[in-house]
Amino acid sequence: MSDIVLDRAAAPRPTPKPGIMDIAPYVPGKSKIDGVEHPLKLSANENILGSSPAAREAFSTAFDQLQMYPDGRTTALREALAAKYGLEPERLLFGCGSDEIFQLLNQTFLEPGDNIVQGEFGFGAYAIGARACQAEVRMAREPNYRVDVDELLKLIDARTRIVFVANPANPTGTWNSAEEIRRLHAALPPSVVLCLDGAYAEFCHDPAYEDGMSMVREFDNVVVTRTFSKLHGLAALRVGWAYMPEEMADAIDRIRLPFNVNIPAQLAAVAALADDEFQERSLALVDQWRPWLTQQLGGLGLEPLPSAANFVLVGFPTAPGKTAREADAFLSARGLIVRYVAGYGLPNHLRITIGLEEHNRAIVEALQDFMKGEPA
């Protein structure tokens, strides 16, 4: 037995294993403003159009099934996804949000002392799960707020088990080309899992972008994750899925909780997937207002990053009176909730989800007043 185990055995009360208490708990963005009854929430990259009417209808039929366990294989959704995207059903894995799939990957592949590699502004869920496995989290520099292949590769060593790349990324909204992702893959040892997190994949239309699905078929070590939380507006129901090599799905399935996607979630996701009209409307809204918001924010003297997701990250000056933190407070005073992303290592930025026309205009108007030094 190691010293650590002996120490824990002698402890006066149950003691979490080493590393657990060093994990900073995930802090969600604020969703309320004191004294404001109906604030506008543009802080969590949710779908501002709500969710598909067909999905809502399907959800409501679950009332009659509350006494039942869900289908542990998520069969109907598995078949619907396989048919829609031309995927092999046995390569699909479902999770309570894609968050759970990152956890499962970490649990399946990481031993204490192993490491994961991700970008320095990478999505927080990867690291929490890795640390819980007593693995090291290595953060590669992101020059110009973009995941950089060479910076990732510098951190890979014999103990690297998983490389996580969100593409497009959150919170930056930036993305990597197919050529970059394939160059990264080609330089990785074949024993390293490359997880391409496609939570925002549908919002990126550039021809140089690749969602990674065909890489999953070409290689034994590529996983693509997707979610119903963004495009489909079903964040509350927690449905994520992954496309991966069959052997990997078989391994992960052994530790997955048997009923991890509930009945209302499965029913709504199947209906949402079939509702092309809602998906097209959601994409059209982002396509219309993302460039407008980006251009307007730039016109105010701020520094929006070019985004391929359903939000824009915008940089603020560091001069007192003009900072991101003060802008966040100013927007809150006007009933507008955006995401202050200091927790991601970006203390000079705010992340703003694309809203309806009137929401986007309200944000720009408020920030114009803020930059002019007017009172909130």
Ligand X SMILES: Cc1ncc(COP(=O)(O)O)c(C=O)c1O
123 binding ligand X? (CB under 6 A):
yes
CA distances from 360 to 235, 353, 367 (A): 22, 9, 11
136 binding ligand X? (CB under 6 A):
no
Query: CB of residue 371 vs ligand X: minimum separation in angstroms?
Result: 28
170 binding ligand X? (CB under 6 A):
yes
Tell me the HSE value of 128 on the side-chain side, using a 13 A CA sphere: 12
Q: Which of 108/118 has CB closer to ligand X?
A: 118
Query: CB of residue 39 vs ligand X: minimum separation in angstroms?
Result: 19
Q: Which of 149/166 has CB closer to ligand X?
A: 166
Number of residues lying near ligand X (CB under 6 A) = 13
- The rounded distance, in Å, linking the Cα atoms of 156 and 365 is 45
98 binding ligand X? (CB under 6 A):
yes
User: Checking phi first, is residue 351 left (phi over 0); if not, alpha (psi -120 to 50) or beta?
Assistant: beta
Binding positions for ligand X, 233-262, rule CB under 6 A: 235, 240
Query: CB of residue 123 vs ligand X: minimum separation in angstroms?
Result: 4
**Whether 16 contacts 4, CB under 8 Å:** no
- The rounded distance, in Å, linking the Cα atoms of 32 and 308 is 27
166 binding ligand X? (CB under 6 A):
yes
- The rounded distance, in Å, linking the Cα atoms of 345 and 353 is 19
Q: Which of 221/229 has CB closer to ligand X?
A: 229
Give the Cα-Cα-Cα angle 313, 319, 325 (nearest 5 degrees): 45
Query: CB of residue 203 vs ligand X: minimum separation in angstroms?
Result: 11
- For residue 345, the one-letter residue type is G
Task: Estimate the share of the chain in helix, then strand, then coil, as percent rounded to the nearest 5.
Answer: 45, 15, 40
227 binding ligand X? (CB under 6 A):
yes
Q: Which residues contact 155 (CB under 8 A, 6 or more apart)?
A: 115, 117, 138, 140
Q: Which residues contact 56 (CB under 8 A, 6 or more apart)?
A: 268
Give the range of 70-78, 95-103, 109-117, 210-218 binding ligand X by CB under 6 A.
Answer: 95-103
Among 43, 45, 294, 360, binds ligand X (CB under 6 A): 45
197 binding ligand X? (CB under 6 A):
yes
Give the range of 7-15, 51-59, 227-235, 285-293 binding ligand X by CB under 6 A.
Answer: 227-235
**Whether 151 contacts 143, CB under 8 Å:** yes
Q: 148, 165, 262: which is closest to 210 by C-alpha?
A: 165
165 binding ligand X? (CB under 6 A):
no
DSSP 16: P
Give the range of 93-101, 181-189, 268-276, 300-308 binding ligand X by CB under 6 A.
Answer: 93-101
Give the range of 60-68, 96-104, 175-183, 257-265 binding ligand X by CB under 6 A.
Answer: 96-104
Residue closest to ligand X, measured at CB: 97
199 binding ligand X? (CB under 6 A):
yes
- The rounded distance, in Å, linking the Cα atoms of 169 and 176 is 9
Among 91, 99, 176, 341, binds ligand X (CB under 6 A): 99
Among 229, 266, 296, 310, binds ligand X (CB under 6 A): 229
Query: CB of residue 140 vs ligand X: minimum separation in angstroms?
Result: 16
Query: DSSP per residue over 203-255, as a string?
Result: G---TT---SHHHHHH-SSEEEEEESSSTT--GGG-EEEEE--HHHHHHHHTT
Contact map string, positions 67 to 86, toward ligand X, x by CB under 6 A: --------------------
Give the range of 73-81, 94-102, 209-217, 274-282 binding ligand X by CB under 6 A.
Answer: 94-102
- What is the binding site for ligand X (CB under 6 A)? 45, 97-99, 123, 166, 170, 197, 199, 227, 229, 235, 240
